[in-house]
């Protein structure tokens, strides 16, 4: 009896999970499907079976240089992530291992900056960028995205570092490890998974960031978000072309996400992993 | 060698004083147990000795050498933590080898020592596993293995058995005692469990709110507790502490009688009592009785004793086993 109920339950959960997953994934799936349609097919109405034409891709490539945008995306996403880690690792480290009375407040304050709508600071930041000659530069955008994501990076790392039990570090000290030995043999191996997850997640966040990347760039430093945007406006809507551009833009990050699934799941469920 | 001397050692965290001032002498080869209720400062005291905390005052010396300001690694002490604190990313072999590696021993020596330790601790078949793939008892043994390979001058244990189930706790208690007999190295063992203290220690240090209440062998503490705290803390079931006229009759503010020192009879005796709950352990029966003015008492009686709930019994304390305490709580 009990077994029957639990099996039914399991099936129920499985079905529900698939439905939710499909619902969430459907827009992406439909974008990919549409990218393989011709423009006439694309506006013709709902259909899950594309003709398989590659004409949209060809047109997209002809119209703009995908590779340049792609390169900008890589430089900006990876660069801002490395920069953020360089700043956040020592910060999170000291907050996790030698917290003061104010540590919690500082963490909250950092997170609170994420609660402010970005539009609120668009004008001042735009002006600063203009006056500093940072508009449409990779450097400017890299720094901007680093700043945008820094609170989240610090929070994630802090949560990870907090999970490293202090007793293990003390054990290493008792076992005769020097500070350097402690860092090399104990701290780093235990911190690396957390840092890796944070890095992956931050690359994704930076890759997909569309507010600042679109507004602070025009051509030279424009990443893939701007590439998509450039297909969404001018001469009416070309669904197939837009879809092809979107697919091209998200493909690299999807592939990276796919190959680093395990790290990412760890990263997204941090705190729950022992 | 492993003489450890504490002189006027004190510890405060900010404005909170955890250990006011402690003097203590630990002899080479002794098995010393720090026992006391949770939060009384046992771990703090152990960590002061280990060097994981800085003293706020006083001095600590090991084998006559002042180590008060020395780093933990220099003190040649090994510690087994309550959480085991194994390195999760290393195999059992590497965990045990770690202190040797840090000491710069060469690979052949390390290999031999690790394998010897593994043999002693029944870990030979688990050397390639990670701590996550071991049971609690095995992890505990790895932690001990990591401590013994270095041949420290003393071992420090902080409640090493509290994460194990009762049966395993019993076994590990024996194993640690056995290890002490083999190695004859000083061991300082922290626990809140007076049974562990009584069964394992050469010398028990009873702590209460950062103060030493009494130092002595298990039997000394059992026979002549210096004060009410020690009287109530050492011994299981707890000593019966009686106030009022029954105590005044013996010229004391409080008298203490251990459950095993109360004679029980169904016909006559000093105190008349009504039987409450009886706990049958087979070998013994613990009777909880209500003895009028005298209060609630626990009696350790024969396992075969057949008294029922609500029956009347008479209790008589063994005359030379009555502990007398003055108004200040000290033994008279
Ligand atoms: N790092 C610390 N900062 C502040 N208070 C502490 C610290 N470590 C321990 N304490 C306090 O010291 C007291 C004794 O702690 P501890 O030595 O761990 O007790 P025990 O091991 O006997 O249970 C507790 O009240 C605890 O809250
Ligand atoms: Mg403790």
Of A165, A176, A190, Cβ closest to residue B102: A176
pTM above 0.95, yes or no: no
8 Å CB contact between B301 and B285: yes
Cα within 13 Å of Cα(B184), Cβ side: 1
Q: Residue with structure tokens 């997953």?
A: A21
Asked whether residue A129 carries a pLDDT value surpassing 90, the answer given is yes
What is the longest distance spanned by two Cα atoms in chain B? Answer: 76
> How many residues are recorded in chain B?
332
* Domain A65-229 indexed as CATH 1.10.260.40: no
The length of chain A, given as a count of residues? 274
* End-to-end CA, chain B: 38
**Predicted local confidence at residue B32, as pLDDT:** 97
| Location of structure tokens 């330790």 | B117
CA-closest candidate to residue B291, choices B309, B313, B258, B324 = B313
Residue A264 has pLDDT above 90, yes or no: no
Q: Are the beta carbons of A170 and B81 separated by less than 8 Å?
A: yes
Contact flag B99-A190 (C-beta cutoff 8 Å): no
Q: What class is the B238-325 domain?
A: mainly beta
Q: Which ligand is nearest to the CA of B38?
A: 1
Tell me the CA distances in angstroms from B78 to A2, A110, A205, B61, B319, one per residue in order.
Answer: 51, 41, 46, 16, 47
Burial class (CB in 10 A: 0-12, 13-18, 19+), B31: buried
Which residue is it, tokens 């109530």? B232
Q: Per-residue pLDDT for A274 more than 50?
A: no
> CB-based contacts of A194: which residues, under 8 Å, 6+ apart?
A156, A157, A160, A161, A163, A267, A270
Residue-wise pLDDT for B257-307, tens only, equals: 999 999 999 999 999 999 999 998 888 999 999 998 899 999 999 888 778
Question: Is pLDDT above 80 for A266?
Answer: no
Mutate to test the interface with B, among A160, A168, A171 (most CBs of B within 10 A): A171
Domain B4-231, second-level architecture = 3-Layer(aba) Sandwich (3.40)
> What is the ipTM, given to two decimal places?
0.85
Read off the pLDDT of each residue in A229-241 and give the average, rounded to a whole number.
75
Asked if B94 is an interface residue toward chain A (Cβ–Cβ < 8 A), one would say: no
pLDDT at A191: 87
Atom 24 (ligand 1): residue with closest C-alpha? B39
d(CA B325, CA B329): 6
> Which chain B positions have a beta carbon within 8 Å of A185's beta carbon?
87, 98
Residues β-bridged to residue B6? B24, B60
Pick from B236, B237, B262: which is nearest to B323 by CA? B262
What six digits make up the tokens of B33? 């147990």
Collect all residues of chain B within an 8 Å Cβ-Cβ radius of residue A167: 81-83, 85
User: Alpha carbon of B191 to those of A171, B35, B46, B182: distances in Å?
Assistant: 19, 5, 11, 22
- pLDDT for residue B49: 96
Cβ atoms of B232 and B240 within 8 Å: the answer is no
Q: Please determine, for residue A61, whether its predicted confidence score (pLDDT) is greater than 90.
A: no
**Would you state the pLDDT for residue A271?**
46
* Dist. CA B220–CA B222, nearest whole Å: 5
Query: What is the residue-averaged pLDDT of chain A?
Result: 87
pLDDT of residue A3: 58
A221 class by beta-carbon count within 10 Å (0-12 exposed, 13-18 middle, 19+ buried): buried
Reported as a single tens digit per residue, the pLDDT across B160-169 is 999 889 889 9
Please compute, for residue B13, the number of CA atoms within 13 A of its CA located in the half-sphere on the CB side.
Answer: 7
Residues 6 or more apart in contact with residue B236 via CB below 8 angstroms: B194, B195
Whole-Å CA distances, B203 to A228, B29, B33: 77, 11, 6
Side-chain half-sphere exposure of B171, counting CA atoms within 13 A: 11
For ligand 1, residues with CB inside 6 Å are B 13, 18, 36, 38-44
What does the pLDDT look like over A159-195, one tens digit per residue? 988 888 889 999 999 999 988 888 889 988 888 888 9
- Residues of chain B falling short of pLDDT 50: none
Question: Which protein residue's CA is at the shortest distance from atom 4 of ligand 1?
Answer: B13
**Chain A within 8 Å of B85 (Cβ-Cβ)?**
yes
pLDDT reported for residue A272? 42
Ligand 1: residue whose CA is nearest its atom 14: B41
Distance of residue B145 Cα from the nearest chain A Cα, in angstroms: 12
Distance from CA of B102 to the nearest CA of A (A): 6
Q: Quick one: pLDDT at residue B255? A: 95
Domain spans of chain B, in order of start: 4-231, 238-325
Mean pLDDT of A56-73: 89
DSSP state of B122: T
Give the closest of A173, A175, A178 to B146, CB-based.
A175
Contacts of A177 in chain B (CB under 8 A): 73, 98, 102
Q: Do A173 and B89 touch (CB under 8 A)?
A: no
Please spell the DSSP secondary structure of B70-109, one letter per residue. Answer: --GGGGTEEEE-TT----TTS-HHHHHHHHHHHTT--HHH
Residues in CB range of A63: below 8 A, 6 or more apart: A231, A241
Ligand nearest to the CA of A166: 1
Residue among B118, B181, B191, B120 nearest B157 (CA): B191
Which pLDDT belongs to residue B276? 93
Instruction: For B75, name the nearest residue in chain A, comparing CA atoms only.
Output: A174
By CA distance, what is A177's nearest residue in B? B102
Q: Which of A165, A167, A173 sits opposite B73 (nearest CB)?
A: A173
Mean pLDDT of A134-145: 93
Which residue, chain included where needed, has tokens 């390169």?
A71
Rounded (5°) CA angle B98-B100-B105: 135
Q: How many helices (H) and strands (E) does chain B have?
A: 9, 18
Closest to B207 measured CA to CA, from B29, B10, B15, B38: B38
Chain B residues with beta carbon closer than 8 angstroms to that of A170: 52, 72, 79, 81, 85
Chain B residues inside the 8 Å CB shell of A178: 73, 102
What is the pLDDT, as a whole number, of residue A2?
52
List the structure tokens of A16. 């529900």
Task: Indicate yes or no: CB of A173 within 8 angstroms of CB of B87.
Answer: no
């Amino acid at each position: 009896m009990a077994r029957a109920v639990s099996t039914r339950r399991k099936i129920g959960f499985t079905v529900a999970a698939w439905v939710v997953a499909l619902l969430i994934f459907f827009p992406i799936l439909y974008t990919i499907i549409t990218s393989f349609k011709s423009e006439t097919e694309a506006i013709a109405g709902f259909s899950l079976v594309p003709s398989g034409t590659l004409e949209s891709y060809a047109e997209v490539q002809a119209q703009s240089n995908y590779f340049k945008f792609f390169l900008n995306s890589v430089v900006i996403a990876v660069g801002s992530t490395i920069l953020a880690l360089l700043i956040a690792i020592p910060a999170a480290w000291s907050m996790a291992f030698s917290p003061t009375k104010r540590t919690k407040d500082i963490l909250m304050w950092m997170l609170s900056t994420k609660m402010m709508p970005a539009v609120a600071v668009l004008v001042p930041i735009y002006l600063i960028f203009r006056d500093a000659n940072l508009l449409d530069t990779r450097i400017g955008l890299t720094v901007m995205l680093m700043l945008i994501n820094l609170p989240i990076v610090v929070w994630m790392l802090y949560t990870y570092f907090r999970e490293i039990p202090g007793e293990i570090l003390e054990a290493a000290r008792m076992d005769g490890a020097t500070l350097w030995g402690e860092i090399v043999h104990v701290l780093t191996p235990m911190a690396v998974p957390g840092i890796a997850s944070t890095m992956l997640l931050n690359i994704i966040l930076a890759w997909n960031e569309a507010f600042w990347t679109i507004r602070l760039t025009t051509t030279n430093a424009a990443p893939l978000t701007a590439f998509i945007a450039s297909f969404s406006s001018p001469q009416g809507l070309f669904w197939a072309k837009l879809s092809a551009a979107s697919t091209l833009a998200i493909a690299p990050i999807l592939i990276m996400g796919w190959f680093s699934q395990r790290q990412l799941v760890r990263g997204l469920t941090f705190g729950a992993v022992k | 060698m492993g003489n450890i001397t504490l002189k006027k050692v004190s510890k405060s965290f900010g404005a909170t004083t955890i250990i006011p001032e402690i003097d203590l002498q630990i002899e080479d080869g002794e098995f010393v147990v720090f026992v006391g209720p949770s939060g009384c400062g046992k771990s703090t005291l152990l960590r002061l000795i280990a060097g994981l905390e800085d003293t706020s005052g006083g001095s600590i010396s090991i084998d006559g050498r002042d180590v008060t300001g020395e780093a933990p690694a220099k003190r040649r002490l090994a510690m087994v933590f309550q959480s085991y604190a194994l390195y999760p990313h290393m195999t059992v072999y590497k965990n045990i080898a770690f202190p040797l590696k840090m000491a710069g021993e060469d690979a052949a020596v390390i290999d031999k020592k690790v394998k010897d330790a593994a043999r002693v601790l029944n870990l030979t078949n688990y050397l390639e596993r990670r701590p996550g793939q071991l049971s609690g008892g095995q992890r505990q043994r790895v932690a001990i293995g990591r401590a013994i390979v270095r041949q420290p001058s003393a071992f420090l244990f902080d409640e090493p058995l509290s994460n194990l189930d009762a049966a395993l706790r019993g076994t590990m208690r024996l194993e640690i005692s056995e290890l002490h007999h083999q190695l004859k190295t000083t061991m300082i063992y922290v626990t809140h469990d007076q049974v562990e203290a009584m069964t394992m220690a050469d010398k028990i240090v009873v702590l209460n709110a950062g103060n030493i209440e009494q130092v002595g062998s298990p039997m000394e503490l059992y026979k002549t507790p210096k004060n009410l705290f020690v009287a109530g803390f050492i011994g299981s079931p707890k000593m019966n502490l009686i106030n009022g006229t029954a105590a005044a009759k013996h010229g004391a503010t409080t008298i203490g009688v251990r459950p095993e020192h109360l004679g029980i009879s169904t016909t006559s005796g000093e105190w008349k009592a009504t039987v409450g709950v009886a706990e049958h352990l087979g070998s013994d029966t613990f009777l909880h009785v209500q003895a009028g003015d005298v209060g609630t008492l626990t009696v350790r009686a024969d396992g075969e004793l057949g008294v029922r709930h609500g029956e009347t019994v008479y209790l008589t304390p063994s005359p030379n086993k009555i502990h007398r305490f003055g108004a200040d709580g000290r033994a008279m």
